[in-house]
Amino acid sequence: MEFAEPFSFDADQKIRKEGAAEKVVHRILDLVKSGNLKAGDKLPAERKMIEIFGLSRPTLREALRSLSILGVIEMRHGGGAFVTDLDARSLLGPLDFFVSLSAENAQEVFACRRIVEVEVAKLCVEKATEANIEELDAMVAAQEKIASDPIAFRILDLEFHEKLFEIAGNSVMERLALGFYNMGLEARRAATAKPSVTKRSVKEHQAIVAGIRARSTEETSRAIGAHLDHIEATTLDAMTKAQK
């Protein structure tokens, strides 16, 4: 459905000068939140939006690029700009792009990661099928064999955590969890260069799967908590060493 004549501004409402692109972004987001714009709607042509908002073509394109990065619109070559399906994976995709792990925010980021992943663990206890548990077992067994290979371990580690997020079955939580996981990967690469770190992570993964298999929320939450404590400590240690 084409989005025709959705809004208009008089001369005093025209968007001008400083922060113009940001204001256009907020206008479009407000229209999406209010329901005036829905998934599949086509935005007016560039020429029309330039007239509506009273701004330059470069500024409009900057706003559209920002909305595209946010996952709110998609640009189709030769076809204009359309509102996306507004799926949580798309909308929360830029989380790890806009927020990066630093010495200043590390504790806050890991606190958030604990909140999300403990809930993921609880959902896995409730929802994991026997086939899911067998798949997790196979992943951990594969990790055990390559625990001394840091690159191979990192690949399998991501697959393991992604599988937990998937089993939990909450798309918003899945995107948040993956976003937090992706923060600080440079430091994680340094930390997982040590076989002692990867081997301990494998044992912690085994404990997580054991808790899910036992259908024990308490055991699984405790196991994921211990794993995140270990990740936080080794990540912060790697970050500290990199700053020296």
Which residues lie below 8 Å from residue 153, measured CB to CB, with a gap of 6+?
A: 143, 146, 147, 192, 198, 201, 202
> For 11-86, CATH number?
1.10.10.10
Q: Which CATH superfamily is domain 96-243 in?
A: GntR ligand-binding domain-like (1.20.120.530)
Place of tokens 């909450």: 170
Q: Looking at this protein, which amino acid is placed at residue 9? A: F
Each of the 244 residues of the chain gets a pLDDT tens digit; together they read 344 444 444 434 444 444 788 888 888 888 888 888 888 899 999 899 898 888 888 888 888 888 887 778 888 877 889 988 776 555 655 555 555 667 677 888 889 889 999 999 999 999 999 999 999 999 999 999 999 999 999 999 999 999 999 999 988 788 888 888 887 777 788 889 899 999 999 999 999 999 999 999 999 999 999 999 999 999 888 888 877 6
Question: What pLDDT does residue 99 have?
Answer: 53
Residues in the chain, total: 244
pLDDT of residue 91: 60
Domain boundaries, the chain: 11-86, 96-243
